[in-house]
Each structure stands twice: as C-alpha cells, then as structure tokens.
Structure 1
C-alpha cells in the first residue's frame, strides 16, 4: 500500500532538517530545502552565505602555499589556466603511457555525448610513474586545496569525451550551469589540444564570487516550484540564461581553447559548461574532482585522503553504487577493460 506523501514527509523530517548542514542541494528531493515559504524567509540564501563565509575563511588559511600568480588569477576569475604543466618530453612520455594503458572502464551517455572514465588507481600509478609524480607535486596540490577550500585529495580519473555521437538529443553539459550552491573543485589536464569549435571548457569570469546580484538571483530561484523547472536545476545544479547573467552584472561565457599539456582548475560554483562541439570527435584529459560538506570549519580530517586509501576511492565508490543501485542509482556502466582511446560502446551508459 503506497505511503501518503505527508506521512512520508513527517517520518523523514529529521533527515530533511539534518541535511541543511550538509552539501544537500536538491529542491526536488528535500521538501525543507525546496520550501518556498522557508526560502522566502531566507533559508536558501542563509545556507549560501554561510557556506561562502566558511569557504573564504578556509581559503585564507590555505592561501600562503599557493603561487601568487595562480592565487590572484583564481580570486579574480574563478579559474586558473596553467600551460606547460610538465616539460614537453615528460608530458609526451606520460601521455603515451596513459593512452596505451588498459584498465576497467565506465561509461555514461548524456544526450549526444559519451563520457568514459578510468580510475587513477594503484595499478595505473604503478604503470605510469610520471602521473604519480605529477599528482604529488606540492604546488599543484596547494592550488587544489585552495580552490576546494579543504586539504583533501581529489578523485582523479582519465576521462574521454566523445561528442556528437549517435543521437540528436543535446548534451546537458553544454548548458551553462553551476554545480551547486557552494564552492567545489574540478580540474582538467588536457592530453590533446582543444580548439574553440571542439567543445572547450567554458566559464563566466568572476561568477564564483558571491555578489549581492548573485544572492538576489539565488533567492529568486529558491522560490520557484521545483516541479515546474528543468530537473537538473530542481536538483540543485541550476542552469543560467544570458538574461540571468545580465541581471547579475556578469560577462558573457568564454570558451578556453588550449593546447595539450594545459591544466585548468576551476570553482564550479561559478557558471560553466562544455562548449558546443561543431562535429564529432573525442578528447582525453586527466579529470579531478573534490567536494566536501561546505559547513565544516576545519581544513583537513578527510581520512580517505590518506596515502594508500585515496587512490582506491574511485573503485570503492563504483562498487558501492553497483551494490546499492536500486537505492542510489548507477549512471556509470561497466564496459570491461578499455584504453582511453577505444571507441565507446554506444549501447552502454544510460540517457
């Protein structure tokens, strides 16, 4: 017998309230977060402001280890572009080793794009020592910590993006959006060049800053009925229009065409997207990600960042979601042993 929605909400109310001090962001799945009545009184804006204040406080404590040029670029723009991360001969050797590596792979389809990921795990690091050395560099890790606002080790993957492949549905990653209401880290080290017409990383400069205009926009969006807007926005990853950017006094998005051996590190609270690709093609990158509870007042304390554990997390995460797929869902489908440049299995992954 189906449970009445009001009974379910009352039963789960303690959980919904507890999620207010976590990274939970879905207006659709949490009726407290999505309450127009509470948000009219400032609930959502209060969560955004508190998360931003704690992030600023943590970053101040992490700033001294970051090269000044990188820190200034990030504070101004919300992202950093670092060209020639490795000497050319080291980059070429690392790239060749990564592209020839074969390991367990996962794939997901979103619209007409397929994403494949291989975990940067102990087996890969053993086979590609230049990658291991790169990920242990103190200057890069200081930047990762600063952008993430935590001393945490990102999850690292080898990621392949295949664009314009097999379907007419648009890739949702090509729509300008923020990942969440709070700061988090994503980074891309491109193993091959990305031209302006090949789906470059696109960002709205300065959109990571919590201005009065951004707060007003956050307040307005918190009052909308989550069932009346697109699902990704309703679940806390808001899509943004040109009119919204104008209202927030923000510039137009900028596509970053870059050569290989370029690292881009960004705060994905800022508005970003994968630029439109004019034709089918693929690119390979080292993709890194870190997001923690934005309300934690300390910098470290992430036990899973310890050596010996950090490089095994991706495999554990995939296995955990496989086991509890009926409860959590599992968009990343196992496709066997692959190399980054293998042509994707077009039947794998879910829309």
Structure 2
C-alpha cells in the first residue's frame, strides 16, 4: 500500500508570491557560500542534501486530496480538493501504461468547498468509459457537487460529464470492500459533520484519513472511539491545522485540531506514523517546518514506549506502508 499526497492545505489553495521565491533563492545562494555546480544534477543534489525543506522545496498549496494506492485495481481517493486535478491526470497515465481499470472510488470527508472544489477539473469525469463512485457519509453529497457546477458558478453543468458517476451513502459501524481494501468509517467533530476513514489491506496494513475533526485538549478523555479507530495504524493522516495555542483560543470550535492532540491520539492508539495535514493557508513553508520540528520534540518528550514517527505531509509526498 502506498499513500500519495496530492493536496495538503486547508481552507483554500495558496501559491507562493514572487517575494517568497526570491527569499528562497537568496537563502539557497547564501547557503551555497560561493560554490559552483557542474550541472543541474549537482545543484539538485545540493538542494536535497544541504538545504532544509522550507528553503529548498515547498509543502505545496493544493487543498485536500490523498490517494491510497494498491498498485492495481481501482483507484482510491480521499477528498476532491484542488489537488485532485493532478491526481486525475496521473491516474490516467497509469491506466494507459499499466492497464489499470478506469475506475475511481472517492471518499469524501465532508462537503465544504475546499474538499470538493477540484471535481470540476477532474479529467476522468469528462471521459466516456470512466466509472466514478463517490462515497460519503452525507446523503446530500450529490447535491453539493451538482450545485458547484450550476451555471452561476461554473460553465460546464454536472449533467454534461460523460463518466458513469454513482453516489453511495456510507454508514458508521459497517465495513466496505473496495478491491483489495476494507474501509470503515467514523463520524467526526466538524460543521455539517465530517467522516474519517480506515483503510486496511489484505496484509493488515492500515492507513487512516482523518481531517477536519476537532479534538479538544481538555476533553481527550472523550476520544476513546478515535483512539480505537486509529489503533495500531501504520499511518495516520490527521488534521493538524492549528497550533495548540490557536486551537484553544481564538479558533476554538472552528472544527480543526492541533499537532499536540494528534500526537496524543496516536500515542494512545499505538500508531506507527503520523502525517501532519490540512496546513493552515496563512502559514509559510518556514512556519510549517517549525511546527513539524516542534511536533517531533513533543512526541519525544511524551513518548511512553515505541516511537511515533512524525511526518509532515506535502504535495507530492509518497509513503510506502
């Protein structure tokens, strides 16, 4: 099982400003300290080996879209944020090169715009012979996707899409079989509700997708259901949009969580890896990197037995389970 990240921002897509790129270039030149590079490959090796992530690369700016890939069979996708545009193109390439079926199973966490806005740009939806099954805990999922393609909002009506599109309403407490993967669902704390997903393959590998869910630091005794749902997962993709200070003050009850409670939940669940996800759109790459470093330190200080590996999701990251 591979988990690929195509969009990792929350709320709205963001792009670096011209000044941000200039700052990165300047910082890289200072770090190079006058050295020269024989070719582009050598320069890229310098970026990879000698620059920190925030200077040499970027966490990206697309909104939520994560793929759970078994390497064969139908494609499994979590959320339809703006990152789904690139996912659609890449999966079509794999269909052509690897003979994969043109079948996509989409699992929606919820219906807020940043999590569905990419669907009008999802190329497979425009193709004859493609099959798209949209799974959601919300019975009004179809209404939400149709509404954003009404003429007042988008030039291509939903009914013009050529793919075979089906909507399935999921229930908590049940398991669903999608190809080689068993999927279960949990209700989360968010406006108009959201749902988290547990994906288990036939080898027992488990990936959790849990975003847009608020876990309060002073109410962690009420989170036993989530600790069990995350239990012994190989990877937990978790909403860590805010710092702890923000999550307990001016942004309390906004439906998102902090890096601190994510670590606490994963420790309780004895999960193996945590991916920080749904990054605040106002945070710079340096801000996100700082949160990642602080989260690693917090995990080390609060660890009881086995270590929890803390990753920071970025557009393009691929994790092998």
| TM, length-normalised to structure 2 | 0.23
Higher strand share: 2
Q: Tell which has more relative contact order, 1 or 2 (C-alpha 8 A, sep 6+).
A: 1
Question: How does the TM-score come out when normalised to structure 1?
Answer: 0.22
- Higher fraction of helix: 1
